[in-house]
C-alpha cells in the first residue's frame, strides 16, 4: 500500500474518533459545580425548584444558591419556604442562615406573608438581634396580626425597646400606651400614626393627651368626623389650654368642616375669647353668628370668601349677604362670578350684595344682567341703591338692542329722578319707558328715535302710531319730514307680526291723503309686503286707489292679494264700482274676488249693479255674486231674476247656482222676494221652492203669514209644499186653517201635514 494513502486513512480515523468523543462530551449535562463556577443562577434555581428531579442534585443546588448569596437565588430560596411538603424544607431552614445578612431583606419581605411567616421567623431568629431592624417597621403596620407576630418575634430575638420611636411603636403594638408617655417626644409621631388604626385610636389619644405635644392637635381634630371620638379628641386638646391655641386657630381655616367644628368646640372648652380679627370671624362663622361676623368687618372678608365654597347653600347665601354689608373691594370679583352661579338664590344674593358697591366693575356687572328675568326686580333695586354713580352706566343702556334692557334701565333712572339734559337723551329715555305720548309731545327730537324703533318687532306698532301722531302737524309745515316718516312706515310693514302690521297700517291711514301716493308707488314696485299696503288704502278710502286696486282682482295676483283688494275696494265704496266693472272686461279677472269687491263697494250703488246685470255687458256671475253681498230685498229680487226660465232661461246653470248661494248669503232679506216670486213667476216655482226649503226656520214666519194673506192659489200651493218640506210643527195651525177655508188645497195640506208628522217622529 502506498505510504501516503496509509497516512490519510489513519488521519481520517483519528478525526472520526475525536468527533465522537466531543459529541459525547457536549451532550453530558453540566454539573452544579460547573454551573456554580459559571454563576448560572437561573439554571441552578431551575434544578432546585424541580421537585420531580433528583433529591441529591436539588440538595446540591440549594447549598450552591445559599453559598452564592445572589439576590435571584436568595429570593427563590425564601419563596420556597412556603412549600411545607417539600423534603428539602429542613435543609432550607438550616442553609438560609449561611447566606448571611444578604438574605435578611428577602426574609423580611416573606415575613409579611402569613403563609410563610412562621418559617421566615424561624430563620430570622437564627440571625439574632441583627434581624430586628428588619422587623421594627412592621410594628406600625395597620395589620394587627402582623403587629402581634412582629412583637412575638422581636421578643424571641431578645430585642428590648428603647426610648425612641421604635420603642414607642413596640408599646403601641402591645397596646401598652402609657409606656409611650415615659418615652416622651420620640413617641409623639408614632402615636399620631396610631390614631389612624381603629384598634389603637383611643389609647393613642390618651397617651397624646398626657404628652401634651400640640403637633397632635390637627390629627386629633381630624378624628372629629367620627362622632364617637369627637368629644374625646376635643377634651384631650382642651387639656393643653393656651398651648393649643396656635394649631386650633390654624384649624379654623381647614378645608374639612368637622375639623373646623372640632377646633371651635375645643376653643370653647378653653374659654377662649374671640377677638375682632380673622380668627374671631372664622370662629363666629362656624357658630353661624352672622351678625357678629358682619360687625367684625374687613378682617372677616377672607373667611367669608372661603365660606362661599361651602356645600351648604344657606352658609353660602349668608356669607354673600355679609360680604355685601361689609362691601370690601377684595370680595367684589368673587361676588361678580356668583352672578352666574348654578343656584338662583346665590345669584340673587350676589346681586343684592353688589348693590352695596359703588365701583365701576360692580355697576357694570349689574347692568350686564338687566336682561335676566330671574334677577329682576332685585337687580333694579340694587342699581337704584347705588345711586348717582350708576346713572352713566344706565344711560348707556338706553341704546341697547334689547327692549327689555332699555326699559329696565329707564325704570331705574326714573327711580333715581334722572333728568336728561340733552333732548336726544330725553327721547331715548321716553322711548325706553315706552312713553309714546311723551314722545309725541317732545316733537321733532323724537323723530329719528321713533323711526329707528320701527325696526323692533316688539314696539314697532306703537312707535309707528306715535310717529304718525307726531307727523300729522308736519304734513303742512314740514312736508319733507312727514314724507320721510311715511316712507319709513311703508318699509316697516314688511315682515312684521299681524298685530304690528295692523298698527302700522292704521298709522299710514292716519297720514292720508299724503300717504296715498307713496303707498301706490310702493305697490307699483311690486313690494312683497303688498297686503298691509292694500289694507291701508282700504282704510284711507281715497278714490285715487280704486283703479290700481281693481288691477289686483286679476289672477296675476295671489288669492290673498285679490281678497285684500276686494276688501279695500269695499272701503272706498261707490266710487270703486266703475273701476271694478271696467276690470271685468279683462279675461284674467277672478270672478269671485271681483264679485266680492263689487258687493262691498256697491252697497250704496245697488241700482248701478242691477243695471249692470240687466245690461248683459258684464259677467253676470260676478254681478250676482256682488249683489249677494248686499243684504237688501231689491238686490235679492235682481238675483231672483236670474233663476227664471228653467233650463231654457237667459242664464246658465252655473249662474243659477251662484244665484242660490248669493240668496243664502243675503239671508232673511231674500225671503219675501222669493215668496213673491212664487206668485209672480208660477212657471219657475221649482227654482224658488228649494231655496226657501233650505232657508228653513229663517223663512217660516213669513211663509205662514203669506199663506194666510195670499190671494194666489199657485202661491198658496207652493207655500204649503215648502212648509211641509221644512217640517216645523209651528206651521200645522195655519195649514189646517187653510184646508178648512179653502178645501181646494186639501190634498196639498194633507200631504204637507204628513211630511211634518214624519219629520217630527224621526
**pLDDT, mean of residues 252-278:** 95
CA distance 398 to 620: 61
Residue 122: inside a domain, yes or no?
A: yes
Q: Is the model's pLDDT at 26 over the cut of 60? A: no
Same domain, 612 and 650: no
CA distance 612 to 607: 8
Q: Is the model's pLDDT at 19 over the cut of 60? A: no
**pLDDT, mean of residues 632-642:** 88
**Alpha carbon of residue 136 to chain centroid:** 61
Q: Is the model's pLDDT at 9 over the cut of 70? A: no
Question: Degrees (nearest 5) of the Cα angle 352, 355, 359?
Answer: 145
**What local confidence, expressed as pLDDT, does residue 8 receive?**
56
Same domain, 698 and 673: yes
Residue 17, number of CB atoms within 10 A of its CB = 10
How many separate domains does the chain show?
5
**pLDDT, mean of residues 80-100:** 90
Same domain, 733 and 679: yes
| Residue 259 and residue 221 in contact, taking contact as beta carbons nearer than 8 Å | yes
**pLDDT, mean of residues 381-389:** 95
**Residue 647 burial class via C-beta count within 10 angstroms: exposed 0-12, middle 13-18, buried 19 and up:** exposed
Going by pLDDT thresholds of 50, 70 and 90, the confidence category of residue 1 is low
**What local confidence, expressed as pLDDT, does residue 21 receive?**
42
Same domain, 608 and 710: no
**The domain boundary residue, chosen from 540, 561, 584:** 540
Query: Which residue segment(s) compose the domain that 18 sits in?
Result: 3-30
Distances (CA, A) of 418 to 380, 394, 400, 413, 414: 15, 10, 18, 5, 6
Radius of gyration of the chain (CA): 56
Residue 531: inside a domain, yes or no?
A: yes
**What local confidence, expressed as pLDDT, does residue 762 receive?**
65
More confident: 456 or 499: 456
User: What average pLDDT does the chain have?
Assistant: 89
**What local confidence, expressed as pLDDT, does residue 27 receive?**
43
Same domain, 481 and 595: no
Q: H helices within 338-459, ranges in order?
A: 344-354, 360-368, 378-386, 391-396, 403-415, 423-432, 436-442, 447-453
Residues above pLDDT 70, as percent of the chain: 95
**What local confidence, expressed as pLDDT, does residue 605 receive?**
67
Same domain, 640 and 738: yes
**What local confidence, expressed as pLDDT, does residue 6 receive?**
56
**The domain boundary residue, chosen from 154, 170, 200:** 154
Residue 353: inside a domain, yes or no?
A: no
The residue with cell 266703475 is: 578
**pLDDT, mean of residues 276-304:** 96
With H, G, I as helix, E, B as strand and everything else as coil, classify residue 27.
coil
Residue 554: inside a domain, yes or no?
A: yes
**pLDDT, mean of residues 227-242:** 92
**pLDDT, mean of residues 322-348:** 95
Burial 287-308 (b: 16+ CB within 10 A, else e): eeebebbbebeebbbbbbbbbb
Same domain, 635 and 762: yes
**pLDDT, mean of residues 422-450:** 93
Question: Degrees (nearest 5) of the Cα angle 599, 603, 605?
Answer: 105
Residue 294: inside a domain, yes or no?
A: no
Q: Is the model's pLDDT at 161 over the cut of 90? A: yes
**What local confidence, expressed as pLDDT, does residue 308 receive?**
94
**The domain boundary residue, chosen from 154, 182, 212:** 154
Same domain, 531 and 549: no
Residue 288: inside a domain, yes or no?
A: no
| Residue 139 and residue 151 in contact, taking contact as beta carbons nearer than 8 Å | yes
CA distance 316 to 307: 6
Q: Is the model's pLDDT at 13 over the cut of 90? A: no
For residue 573, give the CATH number of its domain. Answer: 1.25.10
Q: Is the model's pLDDT at 28 over the cut of 70? A: no
Q: Is the model's pLDDT at 647 over the cut of 80? A: no
| Residue 254 and residue 260 in contact, taking contact as beta carbons nearer than 8 Å | yes
Burial 323-347 (b: 16+ CB within 10 A, else e): bbbbbbeebbebbbebbebeeeebb
pLDDT digits (tens, 9 = 90+) for 217-234: 999 999 999 888 999 999
Going by pLDDT thresholds of 50, 70 and 90, the confidence category of residue 583 is confident
**pLDDT, mean of residues 507-518:** 93
Across the chain, how many H-helices and E-strands are there? 51, 0
CA distance 182 to 163: 8
**What local confidence, expressed as pLDDT, does residue 51 receive?**
87
| Residue 674 and residue 691 in contact, taking contact as beta carbons nearer than 8 Å | yes
Same domain, 26 and 71: no
Distances (CA, A) of 689 to 17, 624, 756: 144, 19, 17
CA distance 606 to 573: 11
pLDDT digits (tens, 9 = 90+) for 39-79: 999 999 999 999 888 999 999 999 999 999 999 999 999 99
**pLDDT, mean of residues 543-560:** 90
**pLDDT, mean of residues 140-163:** 93
**What local confidence, expressed as pLDDT, does residue 588 receive?**
85
Which of 212, 220, 217, 213 is CA-nearest to residue 194?
220
Out of 4-18, 426-440, 588-602, 674-688, least confident range = 4-18
**What local confidence, expressed as pLDDT, does residue 22 receive?**
41
**What local confidence, expressed as pLDDT, does residue 23 receive?**
41
Residue 82: inside a domain, yes or no?
A: yes
With H, G, I as helix, E, B as strand and everything else as coil, classify residue 7.
helix
CA distance 281 to 643: 101
Q: Phi/psi at 651 (nearest 5 deg)?
A: -115, 145
Distances (CA, A) of 674 to 681, 732, 748: 10, 22, 20
Same domain, 17 and 40: no
Q: Is the model's pLDDT at 3 over the cut of 80? A: no
Residue 607: inside a domain, yes or no?
A: yes
> pTM (2 decimals)?
0.66
CA distance 394 to 401: 14
Going by pLDDT thresholds of 50, 70 and 90, the confidence category of residue 737 is confident
Same domain, 519 and 555: no
Residues above pLDDT 90, as percent of the chain: 62
**DSSP assignment of 479-517, as one string?**
HHHHHHHHHHHHHHTTT--HHHHHHHHHHHHHTTTTTHH
| Residue 518 and residue 479 in contact, taking contact as beta carbons nearer than 8 Å | no
Out of 436-440, 459-463, 627-631, least confident range = 627-631
pLDDT digits (tens, 9 = 90+) for 699-712: 999 999 998 888 88
Same domain, 598 and 637: no
Amino acid at each position: 500500500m502506498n505510504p501516503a494513502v496509509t497516512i490519510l486513512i489513519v488521519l481520517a480515523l483519528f478525526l472520526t474518533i475525536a468527533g465522537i468523543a466531543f459529541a459525547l462530551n457536549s451532550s453530558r449535562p453540566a454539573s452544579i459545580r460547573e454551573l456554580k463556577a459559571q454563576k448560572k443562577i437561573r439554571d441552578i434555581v431551575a434544578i432546585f425548584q424541580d421537585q420531580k428531579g433528583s433529591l441529591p442534585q436539588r440538595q446540591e443546588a440549594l447549598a450552591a444558591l445559599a453559598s452564592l448569596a445572589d439576590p435571584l437565588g436568595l429570593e427563590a430560596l425564601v419563596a420556597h419556604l412556603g412549600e411545607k411538603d417539600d423534603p428539602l424544607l429542613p435543609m432550607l431552614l438550616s442553609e438560609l442562615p449561611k447566606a448571611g445578612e444578604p438574605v435578611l431583606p428577602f426574609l423580611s419581605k416573606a415575613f409579611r406573608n402569613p403563609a410563610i411567616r412562621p418559617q421566615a421567623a424561624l430563620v430570622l431568629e437564627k440571625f439574632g438581634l441583627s434581624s430586628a431592624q428588619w422587623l421594627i417597621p412592621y410594628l406600625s403596620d395597620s395589620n394587627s396580626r402582623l403587629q402581634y407576630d412582629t412583637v412575638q418575634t422581636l421578643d424571641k430575638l431578645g430585642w428590648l425597646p428603647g426610648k425612641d420611636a421604635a420603642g414607642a411603636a413596640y408599646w403601641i403594638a402591645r397596646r401598652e400606651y402609657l409606656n409611650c408617655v415615659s418615652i416622651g417626644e420620640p413617641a409623639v409621631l408614632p402615636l399620631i400614626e396610631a390614631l389612624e388604626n381603629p384598634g389603637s385610636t383611643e389609647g393613642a389619644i390618651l397617651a397624646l393627651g398626657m404628652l401634651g405635644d400640640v403637633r397632635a392637635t390637627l390629627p386629633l381634630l381630624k378624628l372629629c368626623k367620627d362622632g364617637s371620638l369627637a368629644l374625646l379628641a376635643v377634651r384631650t386638646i382642651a387639656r393643653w389650654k393656651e398651648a393649643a391655641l396656635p394649631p386650633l386657630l390654624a384649624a379654623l381655616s381647614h378645608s374639612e368642616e368637622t375639623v373646623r367644628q372640632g377646633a371651635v368646640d375645643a376653643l370653647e372648652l378653653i374659654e377662649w375669647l374671640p377677638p375682632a380679627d380673622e380668627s374671631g370671624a372664622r370662629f363666629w362663622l362656624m357658630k353661624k353668628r352672622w351678625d357678629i361676623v358682619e360687625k367684625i368687618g374687613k378682617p372677616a372678608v377672607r373667611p367669608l370668601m372661603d365660606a362661599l365654597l361651602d356645600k351648604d347653600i344657606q352658609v353660602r347665601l349668608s356669607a354673600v349677604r355679609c360680604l355685601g354689608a361689609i362691601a370690601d373691594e377684595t370680595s367684589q370679583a368673587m361676588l361678580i362670578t356668583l352672578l352666574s352661579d348654578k343656584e338662583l338664590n346665590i345669584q340673587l344674593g350676589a346681586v343684592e350684595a353688589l348693590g352695596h358697591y359703588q365701583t365701576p366693575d360692580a355697576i357694570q356687572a349689574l347692568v350686564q344682567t338687566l336682561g335676566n328675568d330671574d334677577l329682576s326686580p332685585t337687580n333694579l333695586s340694587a342699581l337704584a341703591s347705588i345711586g348717582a354713580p350708576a346713572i352713566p352706566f344706565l344711560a348707556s343702556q338706553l341704546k341697547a338692542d334689547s327692549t327689555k334692557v332699555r326699559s329696565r334701565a329707564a325704570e331705574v333712572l326714573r327711580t333715581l329722578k334722572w333728568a336728561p339734559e340733552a333732548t336726544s337723551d330725553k327721547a331715548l329715555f321716553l322711548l325706553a319707558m315706552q312713553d309714546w305720548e311723551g314722545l309725541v309731545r317732545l316733537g321733532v327730537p323724537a323723530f329719528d328715535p321713533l323711526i329707528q324703533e320701527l325696526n323692533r318687532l316688539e314696539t314697532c306698532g306703537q312707535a309707528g302710531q306715535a310717529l304718525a301722531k307726531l307727523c300729522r302737524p308736519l304734513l303742512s309745515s314740514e312736508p319733507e319730514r312727514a314724507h320721510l316718516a311715511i316712507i319709513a312706515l311703508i318699509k316697516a310693514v314688511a315682515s312684521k307680526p299681524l298685530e304690528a302690521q295692523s298698527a302700522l297700517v292704521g298709522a299710514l291711514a292716519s297720514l292720508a291723503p299724503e300717504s296715498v301716493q307713496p303707498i301706490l308707488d310702493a305697490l307699483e314696485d311690486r313690494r312683497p309686503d303688498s297686503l298691509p299696503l292694500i289694507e291701508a288704502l282700504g282704510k284711507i278710502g281715497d278714490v285715487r286707489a280704486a283703479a290700481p286696486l281693481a288691477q289686483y282682482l286679476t289672477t296675476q295676483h295671489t288669492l290673498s292679494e285679490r281678497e285684500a283688494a276686494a276688501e279695500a275696494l269695499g272701503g272706498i265704496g261707490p266710487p270703486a264700482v266703475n273701476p271694478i266693472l271696467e276690470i271685468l272686461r279683462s279675461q284674467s279677472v277672478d270672478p269671485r274676488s271681483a264679485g266680492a269687491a263689487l258687493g262691498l263697494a256697491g252697497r250704496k250703488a245697488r241700482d248701478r249693479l242691477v243695471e249692470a246685470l240687466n245690461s248683459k255687458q258684464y259677467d253676470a256671475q260676478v254681478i250676482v255674486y256682488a249683489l249677494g253681498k248686499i243684504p237688501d230685498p231689491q238686490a235679492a229680487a235682481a238675483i231672483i231674476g236670474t233663476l227664471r226660465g228653467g233650463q231654457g232661461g237667459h242664464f246658465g246653470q252655473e249662474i243659477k247656482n251662484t244665484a242660490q248661494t248669493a240668496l243664502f248669503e243675503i239671508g232673511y232679506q231674500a225671503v219675501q222676494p222669493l215668496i213673491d216670486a212664487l206668485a209672480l213667476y208660477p212657471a219657475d216655482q221649482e227654482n224658488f221652492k228649494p231655496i226657501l226649503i233650505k232657508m228653513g226656520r229663517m223663512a217660516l214666519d213669513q211663509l205662514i203669514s203669506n199663506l194666510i194673506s195670499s190671494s194666489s192659489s199657485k202661491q198658496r200651493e207652493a207655500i204649503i209644499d215648502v212648509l211641509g218640506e221644512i217640517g216645523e210643527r209651528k206651521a200645522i195651525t195655519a195649514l189646517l186653517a187653510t184646508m178648512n177655508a179653502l178645501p181646494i188645497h186639501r190634498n196639498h195640506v194633507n200631504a204637507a201635514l204628513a211630511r211634518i208628522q214624519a219629520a217630527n217622529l224621526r
